[in-house]
Structure 1
């Protein structure tokens, strides 16, 4: 072995990496991004869950209980309701994660030691279920009520056993019910971005770009033509995951199957347009795959698939709102698990449509510059 010749190869590789800015950015960016995400963004202790309050008693004692629950930091009262039915509608539409119901006879129930407060939980997220169960185990409110005697403990508080938890959409707390719908988004994000991320680069490396430039195709026609075949592949993957999820894990589909596919189509197109934009930036297929990984990692960590969205800092939540997978997870879980429809979930649909428009426009504009 000649050390001199080997050292020359080492120098050559180092110089090549120095010229490859994307690889250099990945060398530094991936460990920094993982450290920041896991250190700051990932938090298993849920805080500030969007909550609806239906205080039908409206007494000093019931208000004290609500304030004590808010003081735990677990819930954030964003909606008020007059009945449990209103809270159920808000749960189904995904506007809240928890509903707190205080019945009109709250004071009598508390005096008799019966269940005095009911917590309604969106069980499609098992982490939220766990947070609600912990909340129900806390004794709340030491404030004596109007003219009624204190409870058996002599403190006038709502004991832990007097707070009931009712879990909807996944009362068995089966992880597969929560994970399988999200896997549709994970698989589509990984495959669709990667497939189209190398599309334009592959044409360039194989020498087909000159032929495409010579054809009477506009940039938009070429881009859309490349997207459509992969859209069909994405629908096949969606069907496969749904069939296996229902067959193997008994995952329910409570909403319209058409809405499931429409939501999937939105994510497929969003990821394909993102992949096209990557392909116009990358100089090689290897670079395209590197950039795909750089997008995929934040998507899987920040979208709410692996870690609870409500536990993330506010600035990280703003970043996650840019990712199409975040909005798709809300859509697919809302349709499949809660029986909602796309009209009720229109903010997520609108977010995906805006993302598609921006990414497709940027990809076409960048490709035009390359044609010149």
Structure 2
């Protein structure tokens, strides 16, 4: 019995040595996880993008803004004309915190019994909201005792409920996993069953085959979006402040990008098991670097640059923008064009690699 067990074990080892993709996953997945969790993931959020509307424009008010930046809680990237513009920047997703200093700032400081300014906080991410509230407890420059410096106003998720933050991003996570996996397996299944050789003899071009394969999954993806939104409203009371049409449009852009990635994965995989392995390999950085699990603002700059290359990062912003902030498709244009570029680049890669396999 021992000889038989060892024979089977050695056979499995030799098979793994011949399967380079599986061996690469054995080494690559642990390395990817330790690098992401050890380097890229940081729960200590700092330098949140902020804008300031300083109507007092005094030496002390400028010291307050400088002290807020020195705390490393916020990074003031722009000046606003007033609270209305601060709210607009929040709606567009350009800032996470707005600092408003009124014209009677000096009088409020002398009074000492009321806040001297106001914080406008994007509450769609509870972690960022909790970090930003530290500014409300910050003492005035030159004073050791804290006073009510800022009155904090939380937008989009004032109750600080986790489902409100998680569900909009969860739409993208589910779409990424299903669209990439289904598309990758669809092509590989054709190869395993021998149907691919039959398609070679038809007038269908590689590009037509690729596009024809993804059309049914676009419909499936939109059905999934409908199901998730309906269940989230029914069970978790997640708001839909924007137009559903805008949500379907941004979902369509993301579905197309995910399907193009799935087609590319299918050109590398020889079996359905390998397709599943590669899908998991693409899923890990997407879920960890997109802002779904960990605040995007807390990542190092290099990790943020890598995250910008991931379609899920842009969809998380857009879905939260539509569902929570009520943003429209025009306000979300900065995250649409990266998805279009991603789709066309990976569709071309998949088509070229598929053409090579037909030769």
Q: Same fold (TM over 0.5)?
A: yes
Alignment partner of 1:260 is 2:268: no
In 1, the alpha carbon distance for the partners of 2:330 and 2:53 equals 25
State the secondary structure of the residue aligned to 1:124.
coil
- Of 151, 158, 165, which aligns to 1:178? 165
Alignment partner of 1:63 is 2:62: yes
Structure 1 residue 74, shift from structure 2 partner? 1.0
In 1, the alpha carbon distance for the partners of 2:134 and 2:24 equals 43
Structure 1 residue 159, shift from structure 2 partner? 3.0
1:128-143 matches, cutoff 5 A = 128-142=128-142
Residues 161-190 of structure 1: CA deviation (Å, up to 9, x unaligned): 232111011111111111111111010011
Alignment partner of 1:283 is 2:270: yes
Give the alignment's TM-score, normalised by structure 2: 0.98
Map of 2:34 onto structure 1 = 35
- Of 216, 228, 233, which aligns to 2:203? 216
In 2, the alpha carbon distance for the partners of 1:177 and 1:226 equals 34
In 2, the alpha carbon distance for the partners of 1:204 and 1:103 equals 67
In 2, the alpha carbon distance for the partners of 1:228 and 1:289 equals 21
Give the alignment's TM-score, normalised by structure 1: 0.94
Structure 1 residue 238, shift from structure 2 partner? 0.5
Say if 2:188 and 2:270, in contact at 8 Å, map to a contact too: yes
State the secondary structure of the residue aligned to 1:187.
helix
State the secondary structure of the residue aligned to 1:121.
strand
Map of 2:118 onto structure 1 = 118
In 2, the alpha carbon distance for the partners of 1:315 and 1:15 equals 39
Say if 1:141 and 1:158, in contact at 8 Å, map to a contact too: no
Map of 1:318 onto structure 2 = 305
Residues 107-138 of structure 1: CA deviation (Å, up to 9, x unaligned): 10011012102111011111111011222122
Structure 1 residue 73, shift from structure 2 partner? 0.6
Extract unaligned runs of 5+ from structure 2: none
Map of 1:303 onto structure 2 = 290
Say if 1:53 and 1:79, in contact at 8 Å, map to a contact too: yes
In 1, the alpha carbon distance for the partners of 2:54 and 2:42 equals 30
State the secondary structure of the residue aligned to 2:242.
coil
In 2, the alpha carbon distance for the partners of 1:75 and 1:25 equals 41
Map of 2:14 onto structure 1 = 15
Structure 1 residue 347, shift from structure 2 partner? 1.2
How many residues are paired up? 358
In 2, the alpha carbon distance for the partners of 1:82 and 1:271 equals 40
- Of 328, 332, 345, which aligns to 1:358? 345
Structure 1 residue 95, shift from structure 2 partner? 0.4
Say if 2:181 and 2:262, in contact at 8 Å, map to a contact too: yes
Structure 1 residue 16, shift from structure 2 partner? 1.2
Structure 1 residue 140, shift from structure 2 partner? 3.0
Say if 2:74 and 2:132, in contact at 8 Å, map to a contact too: no
In 2, the alpha carbon distance for the partners of 1:322 and 1:131 equals 26
Extract unaligned runs of 5+ from structure 1: 143-154
In 2, the alpha carbon distance for the partners of 1:258 and 1:291 equals 32
In 2, the alpha carbon distance for the partners of 1:233 and 1:81 equals 43
In 2, the alpha carbon distance for the partners of 1:106 and 1:365 equals 63
Structure 1 residue 158, shift from structure 2 partner? 8.1
